[in-house]
Structures are given as structure tokens and as C-alpha cells.
Amino acid sequence: MFLPGLLFAGLFDLYKRWLAAMRVTLAPMIAQILATGVHLPLCYLLAIRLEMGVRGLGLATSITKFNLLLVTIVYSKCSPQISCALQFPDRDSLRGWSEYLKVSLPSTIMICSEWWAFEVITVIAGTISIEAQTV
């Protein structure tokens, strides 16, 4: 029940950082305070009154995170300072990606190969007995 909340929390965090880069920090802070005020009664309602238990807490958190993201996006759309910076991606925003991918894909493959090699070594080391490792 909490998995959608993780998505909304991540999107809110990205949006909050983008707003902070524009020196807008008051609106996300107020939205967070209001969301926390709504979250506590929502947890009580879902977990105790509707007897959903832990699932109710996860659902309440997901609802709260969604509302938090929604309030912040609506505020951004209504604020003239921020709405002028919002732009929907179009064909021009994808221009130049081929050069970027030529550099980033080999680097990504190298980093992932290193991580995977470390994981394989860890699994293989776990299959060796303790006596063989101490010798």
C-alpha cells in the first residue's frame, strides 16, 4: 500500500529541490506542514477506525504524499514566478541527446559492470566455507 507513496515522495523531493534552486522554499514547507496535519487524522481513520492496521498506514502515507505533490504542483502552476519556468518537453528539448548518450552509455556500462562483478564476488565468497576462507 506504500509503494505508490514512494513514487509520490520521490517526485515531491525532486520538485522541492527544483523550487529551492529557484529560491522558492516557503510553499513546499507550508505544504509539508499542512500535509503532516492531515496525515495524522488520516492514519487514525484508516488504521484504527476502519481497522486496516498497517495497510491503512501505508495507504494513508500514499494519500498524503500524493496530496503533497499535488498541492505543490498546483501552487507552481498558479504562481507567475514559477509558471513561466515550467515547460512541457518538446522536440527541441531532445536535441543533442545523441552526443550525451555516446559519452554516458559506456560510462554507465563500466560502472554497472563493476557493481555486478562485486556482487558476483560476494556471492561466490559466501559459498566458500569459513575454514577455507581463514587459510
The 10s digit of each residue's pLDDT in 37-72 is 999 999 999 888 888 888 888 899 999 999 999 988
* Phi, psi dihedrals of residue 12, rounded to the nearest 5°: -65, -40
pLDDT 10s digits, 101-117: 999 999 999 999 999 99
Given the C-alpha cell 525532486, which residue does it identify? 14
As a whole number of angstroms, the distance between CA 49 and CA 120 comes to 48
Alpha-carbon distance of 67 to 77, in angstroms, equals 15
CB 86 within 8 A of CB 74: no
As a whole number of angstroms, the distance between CA 49 and CA 8 comes to: 25
